[in-house]
A and B are shown apart, each in its own frame.
Chain A
Amino acid sequence: MSRLAVPKTYKLYIGGKFPRSESGRTYEVVSTKGAFLANAALASRKDARDAVVAARGAFAGWSGATAYNRGQVLYRIAELLEGRRDQFIDEVVATEGASRPSATKQVDTAIDAWVWYAGWADKYVQAAGNGNPVSGPYFNLSTPEPTGVVAVVAPQSGGSLLGLVSVLAPVIVSGNTVVVIASESAPLSAITLSEVLATSDVPGGVVNVLTGSPKEIAPWLAGHADVNALDLAGAEALDWVDLQISAADTLKRVLPPVVGIPSPSLDRIVAFTETKTVWHTKSLI
């Protein structure tokens, strides 16, 4: 017996909820062969604004959580990703036209990358911080702290899930909150990842996922005064020099575009932190 398939209309992920785009716009997600797969929301600048408000609201709680807690929350997401492994593989096959073995490899690599970054939650401070020698009876400690709200343009080609995970995990592991623009042509794994996040222990607003055109939304995030850093990983096709100039007006940290997908590295974590140095007297006993 044949049955009618139920194509899904995907929405945005902002503040732990799944709203439609404020603009009411959607776009069709198609396979590499042009077959209809799903409708996705086409985010507008106001959705980006709302996402920044949600991310700012979540920052105090997420950055204030202990490193151990953040590590556990992130590890729990890896467990959920594992549970949805088959769905991710199907979506990668459908949207990217990848073969099943290469899709499986991508999903497994993405889950492994997530676990790798989760492990850094309670370790990056020791690796990136320092006890500085000073000429006096003081401890002088430099430690990295999360910078705030980070806007990210996810890699637009070459692995939609792995690309997203590779830019998302290093940002939130240190306590930042994030607004990420997913791959425009292959947003399904980003939306499924949102569904994973919504049912995990990550507080609403820590990760906000916009689907739509990076060309349209990125300039608004780059110029937004309440965004503290900008990761242009997937922006090589945009006028990213203009985005950098726009970001400079409000002193944002900016990571330039990368070719392909950034491989896991401590540098990506440290890039979105600020170093705080404190002096403390040594005991006179």
Chain B
Amino acid sequence: MNSSGPSALAPAHRAIELIGSDLTEKSLRLHLEGLSGVDAVGLEQRAASLGTRSIKTTSKAWALDTIIRLIDLTTLEGADTPGKVRSLVAKALTPDPQDASTPRVAAVCVYGDMVPSAVEALGSAHGDPDAGGISVAAVATAFPSGRASLAVKLADTADAVAAGADEIDMVIDRGAFLAGNYGLVFDQIVAVKEACRRDDGSYAHLKVILETGELNTYDNVRKASWLSILAGGDFIKTSTGKVSPAATLPVTLLMLEVVRDWHRLTGERIGVKPAGGIRASKDAIKYLVTVAETVGEEWLVPHLFRFGASSLLNDVLLQRQKLSTGRYSGPDYVTVD
């Protein structure tokens, strides 16, 4: 791969509109390297200050329900079975059997080969979370490492879409990104986006996982976010959950700022999904505050913000039970995942 030559890139319309019709590795590089650097201290201070808000009583009740509505309930284990996916779906449909007022989660997130099981288990509840349904999200492109040829990644994606996945969570090629091959990363995202096309011409939503824990610097996170949006991502997602550190508040804040800048520039709304490591309601509420303060409350809807989580849901349910009964609840009163 020629990393610095004038080789043309895949014609992604966002990039062409912003950078110009001579979209090449070089012009993309110039654009990304022209982004201003991130003030790391300021970013972390801002994130820390957003985490100090006190959210109580009715605000807390609203926040807990909102968190549930925004969860991508996830199981991504080598030991996943169709039975486990069915129980995950059952939990997504009825998070708290003792309380029918509990909202449903936004989506279930599984490996590509488990999509048929999830679709079958969801039945008529399968649909757009904004319309009360539950989506099926599939991780693809040789998740979590992304170390496979493009052909394999595309086949992986097309398979999941054909099986009924509404959303594809792809990983970027971090090796190529860190080596400076931005064009390669860009072309792969464009190609995967095309693989998300269904027979009827519509597209599965594409979430682009940056795996910020492997990108090392905030500057890289900003570049990768920008690159993913230019290439056509509908969502940018922090992490696979397989690498530590996974989602952190400063990184999510930084990605939200990119999304805000993009919205100001083009009027287009991009989604953000922090994933991995968010286990407590208290932490999740900090993310809600950060979203509301950075891009606005209108982002707190399933097609613009998600939590990638599994154990978070149980903690939110415990907090909900505490609010409704006035007593502290315990892990015996939620499902064992």
Interface positions of A (Cβ within 8 A of B): 49, 52, 56, 220, 223-227, 246, 249
Decide if B331 is an interface residue (CB 8 Å cutoff): yes
Most buried by A among B326, B327, B332, B333: B327
**Dominant secondary structure of chain B at its interface with chain A:** loop
Determine how close the nearest CB of chain B comes to the CB of A176; give it in whole angstroms: 15
A3 → chain B, closest Cβ, in Å? 40
Q: Which residue of A lies closest to B331 (CB)?
A: A226
Q: How far is the CA of A216 from the CA of B331 in the complex (A)?
A: 24
Pick the 3 closest A-B CB pairs, nearest first: A226-B330, A223-B327, A225-B330
Across-interface contacts of A225 in B (CB, < 8 A): 321, 327-330, 332-333
Query: With the chains together, A52 CA to B322 CA distance in Å?
Result: 14
Known: A225-B328, A226-B331, A226-B332. 13 other contacts (CB 8 A): A49-B328, A52-B330, A56-B331, A220-B327, A223-B326, A224-B327, A224-B328, A224-B330, A225-B321, A225-B330, A225-B332, A226-B328, A226-B330
B330 and A220 contact, CB distance less than 8 A: no
- Rounded to whole angstroms, the CA-CA distance of A249 and B327 in the bound complex is 11
The smallest C-beta distance from A228 to any residue of chain B, in angstroms, reads 9
Question: Cβ of B330 and Cβ of A56 under 8 Å apart?
Answer: yes
State in angstroms the CA–CA spacing of A209 and B190 once bound together. 58
- The complex places the Cα of A226 from the Cα of B314 at a distance, in Å, of 14
Contact partners of B330 in chain A: CB under 8 A: 52, 56, 224-227
Task: Tally B residues with Cβ within 8 Å of A.
Answer: 9
A223 near B331 with CB under 8 A, answer no
Q: How far is the CA of A224 from the CA of B332 in the complex (A)?
A: 11
A85 CA to B332 CA, complexed, in Å? 41
28 contacts between A and B (CB under 8 A): A49-B328, A52-B328, A52-B330, A56-B330, A56-B331, A220-B327, A220-B328, A223-B326, A223-B327, A223-B328, A224-B327, A224-B328, A224-B330, A225-B321, A225-B327, A225-B328, A225-B329, A225-B330, A225-B332, A225-B333, A226-B328, A226-B329, A226-B330, A226-B331, A226-B332, A227-B330, A246-B327, A249-B327
Number of A-B contacts (CB under 8 A): 28
CB contact list, B300-337 vs A, under 8 A:
321, 326-333
Chain A residues positioned under 8 Å from B329 (CB to CB): 225-226
Residues of chain A within 8 A of B333, CB atoms compared: 225
- B19-44 vs A, CB cutoff 8 Å, 1 = contact: the mask equals 00000000000000000000000000
Cα(A246)–Cα(B326), bound, Å: 12
The interface residues of chain B lying within 8 Å CB-to-CB of A226 are 328-332
Which of the listed residues A52, A220, A223, A225 has the most CB atoms from chain B within 10 Å of its own CB?
A: A225
Report the minimum CB–CB distance from B219 to chain A (whole Å): 37
Taking CB as reference atom, which chain B residue is nearest A48? B328
Alpha-carbon distance between A226 and B327 when the two chains are bound, in angstroms: 10
Instruction: Report the separation of the CA atoms of residues A225 and B317 in the bound assembly, to the nearest whole angstrom.
Output: 13
Which residues of B158-202 have CB atoms within 8 Å of chain A's CB atoms? Answer: none
Give Cα A220–Cα B322 distance, bound, in whole angstroms: 11
Measured CA separation A224–B328 after assembly (Å): 5
Q: Which residues of B contact A52 (CB under 8 A)?
A: 328, 330
Residues of chain B with a CB closer than 8 A to A223's CB = 326-328
When C-beta atoms are compared, the residue in chain A nearest to B321 turns out to be: A225
CB distance from B325 to the nearest CB of A (A): 8
The minimal Cβ–Cβ distance linking B319 to chain A, given in whole angstroms, is: 11
A3 to B222, CA, bound (A): 59
Chain B residues with CB under 8 A of A49? 328
Q: CB-CB contacts of B188-218 with A at 8 A, as 1s and 0s?
A: 0000000000000000000000000000000
Contacts of B332 in A (CB 8 A): 225-226
List chain A residues, Cβ under 8 A from B321. Answer: 225
